[in-house]
């Protein structure tokens, strides 16, 4: 994969050096029938960064502010900075999606996904370090 062309992007990210934009393809495991939503991220907000999702296969439910949006394959949703948001796959089968984020959000996710157990205080500190706020 080159710095500016991701072909294929599957399971990778496109983040050219010096760019403030990161495009990644991810998957969300399904929610078993009768179970509560399996949130892909806790409810949070980014103070200065927008975030967006484009569903490739399956479906996501994305909460932005007080509204929940059903996002089927071929549709997209944006969470503007400052608005609380979270998302999940409401169906029992895996969903695939593109996530469009800033390099600051991507760096935060790298830290959050680097392994090791994190308690709520750790999570709050990491979110704050990257201009975000863990809610709830």
Rg (CA), the chain: 15
Instruction: Please give the chain's pLDDT, 136 residues, in tens.
Output: 445 444 455 556 666 667 788 999 999 999 999 999 999 999 999 999 999 999 999 999 999 999 999 999 999 999 999 999 999 999 999 999 999 999 999 999 999 999 888 999 999 999 999 999 999 7
Q: What tokens were used for 128?
A: 């704050």
CATH tag for 13-134 (out of 3.30.470.30, 1.10.240.10, 2.60.120.10, 3.40.50.880): 2.60.120.10
Q: Report d(CA 34, CA 82) in Å as an integer.
A: 32
Peptide bond into 8 cis (omega under 30): yes
Residue ranges per structural domain of the chain: 13-134
Task: Report pTM.
Answer: 0.87
Residue 83's closest CA among 122, 129, 52?
A: 52
């Amino acid at each position: 994969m080159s710095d500016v062309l991701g072909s294929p992007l599957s399971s990778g990210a496109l983040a050219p050096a010096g760019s403030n934009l990161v495009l990644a393809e991810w998957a969300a495991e399904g929610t078993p029938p009768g179970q509560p939503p399996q949130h892909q991220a806790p409810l949070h907000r980014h103070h200065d960064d927008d975030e967006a999702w484009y569903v490739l296969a399956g479906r996501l439910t994305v909460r932005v502010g007080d509204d929940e949006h059903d996002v089927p394959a071929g549709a997209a949703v944006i969470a503007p900075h400052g608005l609380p948001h979270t998302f999940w796959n409401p169906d029992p089968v895996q969903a695939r999606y593109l996530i469009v984020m800033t390099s600051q959000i991507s760096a935060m996710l790298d830290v959050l996904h680097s392994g090791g157990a994190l308690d709520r205080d750790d999570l709050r500190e990491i979110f704050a370090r990257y201009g975000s706020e863990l809610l709830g």
